[in-house]
Amino acid sequence: MANSKEPTDPSTWETATKLIRGGINRSMFGETAEALYLTQGFVYDTAEQADARFAGDEPGFVYSRYANPTCRMFEERLALLEGAETCRSAASGMAAVAMAVQGLVKAGDHMIAGRALFGSCRWIAASWLPRFGVETSFVPGFDIAAWRNAVRPNTKLLFIETPANPLLEMTDIAAVCALAKEIGAKVVVDNVFATPIFQKPLELGADIVVYSATKHIDGGGRVLGGALLGKADLIEEAYRDPFRHLGPALSPFNAWVLLKGMETLDLRVRRQSETAAMLADEMGGHKKVQRIFYPTHADFPHADIVKKQMTGGSNIIAFDVGSARAAFNVLNALELVDISNNLGDAKSMATHPWTTTHRSTPEEERLAIGLTDGCVRLSVGLEGAEDLKRDILSALDRA
Ligand SMILES: *Cc1c(COP(=O)(O)O)cnc(C)c1O
């Protein structure tokens, strides 16, 4: 519509420009801010027009479970940022993950997934998919030989989360994608921890990238949202009907909040990661910290993979203080940083994965990924770096 002032090809814009200008579709009123189309449905001038819309002969909206103009602006902005042909928005990160996986497997298929996964992603693979005849093998994500050894004749999907929750375990995306090509399987990457700013899975060969927009994309801890992105023909074939008929649609209100969140995504994530890198160095030298996990920190175990595929370290730090009691003491001694399991927020937050986010993961699997009861996960926010340093170091001193 009234979009005529935008310069030539948006895909050539800088990231910051894409985040501010991408996907804007102004109404006849020429509003400055993105419009919130809080509507379930749409009206037609004539019965013939309704007929043509439903037949797909005329472009236009028919029902917000299928598509909505505010959600569309969000999808186009995120697609532009990611360098993807198409984006489908979803009600939450988990709705996006569930759709991403279910659209690519059927009964009798086999999936391989990195063993370090967000709890709900793990539940889909371990407990939900078997009900529909899909089996999953879990492998150490960083070990490409383990991915190869897990391949079966019916392997159709490889699922990666990298850096993984909560210890930032890394998987070499390009290597797993090369294996997938060899065996004719698809690759889905959960890119939440890296954010679209620091890692581009589609450029590394992935078929689908998924986000929980609830995290850094909102950035203010307000709404739930999610998205999956990839090539237009794959999204059309694998996801068009499931998205229409299973109903995981993103609320237009949430899409509107997320559009505003995206305007500052690049600024926020870069500032948070700068602070996180500084804090990781400071905390790594503290006598109560036995191990520290941060992608660009000197001691990080998968630094070679980080170098290959990430352009920044993210805002998440994990560290081990030796016991659950010590971890609780650190959390309780924090004055500025909140105790919360959310991440990517402007507010810094710390959680004890053993008793919160990873509670439902079997104990031997937590230990297999190196997650002990002394680990704390910290999501670095936008407060002053010196204030955060003082708060965290003094909590460690007193714990
Ligand atoms: C939070 C998160 C999800 C789920 O997102 P929701 O928006 O909470 O549904 C999936 N994967 C990762 C890595 C996450 O951190």
| Phi/psi-derived region of residue 370, left when phi > 0, alpha when psi is between -120 and 50, beta in every other case | left
How much of the chain, in percent, has pLDDT values that exceed 70?
98
Of the two residues 106 and 8, the one the predictor is more confident about is 106
> What is the domain range of residue 124?
13-262
Answer with the one of 242, 262, 282 that is the final residue of a domain: 262
Is 244 in the same domain as 331? Answer: no
Residue 249: how many other CB atoms lie within 10 Å:
21
Distance separating alpha carbons of residues 199 and 297, to the nearest angstrom: 17
Is 327 in the same domain as 292? Answer: yes
Tokens of 4: 């005529």
User: Measured from the CB, is residue 313 less than 6 Å from ligand 1?
Assistant: no
Is 158 in the same domain as 282? Answer: no
CATH for 270: 3.90.1150.10
Is 182 in the same domain as 115? Answer: yes
Closest residue by CA, ligand 1 atom 4 = 93
Is 274 in the same domain as 191? Answer: no
Of the two residues 165 and 6, the one the predictor is more confident about is 165
Residues 6+ away with beta carbon under 8 Å from 188: 97, 100, 101, 104, 157, 158, 159, 160, 206, 207, 208, 209, 210
Is 291 in the same domain as 230? Answer: no
Sheet of strand 316-320: strand arrangement: 291-293, 316-320, 375-379, 349-351, 338-339
Q: Measured from the CA of 226, which atom of ligand 1 is nearest?
A: 7
- Residue-wise pLDDT for 147-164, tens only, equals 999 999 999 999 999 999
Using the mean position of ligand 1's atoms as its centre, give its distance from the Cα of residue 164 in Å: 11
Are 218 and 265 in contact, with CB atoms under 8 Å apart? no
Answer with the one of 227, 246, 262 that is the final residue of a domain: 262
Identify the CA nearest to 328 among candidates 261, 395, 258.
Answer: 395
Closest residue by CA, ligand 1 atom 5 = 93
Site of tokens 């159709």: 156
Best residue for ligand 1 mutational test, from 89, 92, 118 (most atoms within 8 Å of Cβ)? 118
Using the mean position of ligand 1's atoms as its centre, give its distance from the Cα of residue 53 in Å: 34
User: Measured from the CB, is residue 272 less than 6 Å from ligand 1?
Assistant: no
Is 241 in the same domain as 272? Answer: no
- Residue-wise pLDDT for 220-250, tens only, equals 999 999 999 999 999 999 999 999 999 999 9
- Residue-wise pLDDT for 169-224, tens only, equals 999 999 999 999 999 999 999 999 999 999 999 999 999 999 999 999 999 999 99
**Mean pLDDT across the chain, nearest whole number?**
96
Q: Is 275 a domain residue? A: yes
Structure confidence at residue 360 (pLDDT): 85
Is 240 in the same domain as 343? Answer: no
Q: Is 8 a domain residue? A: no
CATH for 248: 3.40.640.10
Site of tokens 């009206």: 43
Structure confidence at residue 1 (pLDDT): 46
Site of tokens 């995306």: 173
Q: Is 203 a domain residue? A: yes
Q: Is 350 a domain residue? A: yes
Is 288 in the same domain as 233? Answer: no
Q: What's this model's pTM, rounded to 2 decimal places?
A: 0.96
Confidence of residue 7 (pLDDT cuts 50, 70, 90): low
- Residue-wise pLDDT for 63-122, tens only, equals 999 999 999 999 999 999 999 999 999 999 999 999 999 999 999 999 999 999 998 999
Is 255 in the same domain as 300? Answer: no
Stretch 39-48: mean pLDDT, rounded? 97
Q: Is 172 a domain residue? A: yes
Q: Is 281 a domain residue? A: yes
Using the mean position of ligand 1's atoms as its centre, give its distance from the Cα of residue 48 in Å: 43
pLDDT over 60 at 4, yes or no: no
Q: Is 155 a domain residue? A: yes
Are 69 and 204 in contact, with CB atoms under 8 Å apart? no
Stretch 365-376: mean pLDDT, rounded? 94
Phi, psi at residue 328, to the nearest 5°? Answer: -60, -40
Which DSSP letter does residue 63 get?
A: B
Is 62 in the same domain as 159? Answer: yes
Answer with the one of 238, 262, 286 that is the final residue of a domain: 262
Tokens of 305: 């993979």
Using the mean position of ligand 1's atoms as its centre, give its distance from the Cα of residue 94 in Å: 6
Domain count, the chain: 2
Q: Which residues pair with 243 in a beta bridge?
A: none
Q: Is 5 a domain residue? A: no
pLDDT over 80 at 5, yes or no: no
pLDDT over 80 at 3, yes or no: no
Is 286 in the same domain as 142? Answer: no
- Residue-wise pLDDT for 249-284, tens only, equals 999 999 999 999 999 999 999 999 999 999 999 999
Q: Measured from the CA of 213, which atom of ligand 1 is nearest?
A: 7
196-205, 316-325, 351-360: least confidently modelled range: 351-360
